[in-house]
Amino acid sequence: MAVSHRVPDLGALELLLAVVRLGSLGRAAAELGVTQPAASSRIRSMERQIGVPLLERSPQGSRPTEAGALVAEWARQVVGAAEALDAGLAALRERRDARLRVVASLTVAEYLMPGWLVALRAARPDVAVTLRTANSTAVAEQVRDGQADLGFVEGTRTPPGLNGTVVATDRLVVVVAPRHPWARRRSGVTAAELARAPLVLREEGSGTREVLDRALAAHGGTAPPLLQLASTTALKAAAVSGAGPVVVSELAVVDELANGRLVAVPVPELDLGRPLRAIWPAGRRPAGPARDLLALTR
The predicted-structure confidence for 142-156, as pLDDT tens digits, reads as follows: 999 999 999 999 888
In the chain, how many domains are there?
Answer: 2
User: What's residue 1's pLDDT?
Assistant: 46
86 plus 191 within the same structural domain:
no
The CATH number of whichever domain residue 164 belongs to comes to 3.40.190.290
- pLDDT tens per residue across span 182-228: 999 989 999 999 999 999 999 988 889 999 999 999 999 999 999 99
53 plus 141 within the same structural domain:
no
**Residue 8 in contact with residue 78, Cβ under 8 Å?**
no
Is 3 contained in some domain?
no
22 plus 141 within the same structural domain:
no
Tell me the pTM: 0.64
What is the percent of the chain with per-residue pLDDT over 70, rounded to a whole number? 94
Question: pLDDT confidence of 61, banded at 50, 70, 90?
Answer: confident
Q: Is the pLDDT of residue 5 over 80?
A: no
Say how far apart CA 262 and CA 118 lie, in whole Å.
30
Say how far apart CA 211 and CA 213 lie, in whole Å.
6
The CATH number of whichever domain residue 64 belongs to comes to 1.10.10.10
Domain boundary among 64, 96, 128: 96
Question: pLDDT confidence of 97, banded at 50, 70, 90?
Answer: low
DSSP 48-63: HHHTS--EEEETTEEE
Say how far apart CA 293 and CA 123 lie, in whole Å.
10
28 plus 123 within the same structural domain:
no
Q: Which domain holds residue 78?
A: 10-96
Q: How far is CA 167 from CA 36, 195, 208, in A?
A: 53, 30, 17
67 plus 22 within the same structural domain:
yes
